[in-house]
């Protein structure tokens, strides 16, 4: 993700799935791995106006989800973007 001179983001090489594989003999239980990712959420106001809250949840393979990340944003309405 890069920010252009005018502040507009350019998304390049977007993926929606990551698969990790092991080579050779795997132990009975694989050690926990961590993966840093960046996500982008784009919203368009439509009829919505005012302050809102967006809850983002992660679904890990082991099924134990951390607390959702809460993002507050304001909708201007019509075709304007949310901030």
Q: How many structural domains does the chain have?
A: 1
Would 35 be classed as within a structural domain? no
Q: In a 10 Å sphere around its CB, with 0-12 CB exposed, 13-18 middle and 19+ buried, how is residue 52 labelled?
A: middle
Would 69 be classed as within a structural domain? yes
**Domain extent at residue 77:** 43-83
Question: In angstroms, what CA-CA distances link 77 with 42, 52, 71, 72?
Answer: 14, 12, 18, 16
Would 33 be classed as within a structural domain? no
Would 73 be classed as within a structural domain? yes
Would 19 be classed as within a structural domain? no
Question: What pLDDT is stored for residue 72 in this prediction?
Answer: 92
12 or 55, which is more confident: 55
Would 63 be classed as within a structural domain? yes
Would 82 be classed as within a structural domain? yes
* Residues 59/77, Cβ–Cβ less than 8 Å: no
Say whether pTM exceeds 0.85: no
Would 83 be classed as within a structural domain? yes
Over residues 29-76, the pLDDT tens digits come to 766 767 777 888 888 788 888 899 999 988 877 778 889 999 998 888
Question: What pLDDT is stored for residue 70 in this prediction?
Answer: 94
């Amino acid at each position: 993700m890069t920010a252009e001179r005018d502040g507009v983001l350019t998304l390049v090489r977007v993926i929606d799935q990551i698969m990790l594989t092991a080579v050779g003999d795997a132990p009975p239980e694989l050690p926990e791995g961590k993966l840093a990712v960046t996500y982008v959420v784009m919203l368009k106001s439509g009829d919505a106006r005012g302050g809102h809250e967006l809850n983002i949840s992660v679904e890990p393979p082991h099924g134990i989800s951390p607390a959702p990340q809460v993002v507050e944003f304001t909708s201007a309405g019509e075709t304007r973007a949310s901030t």
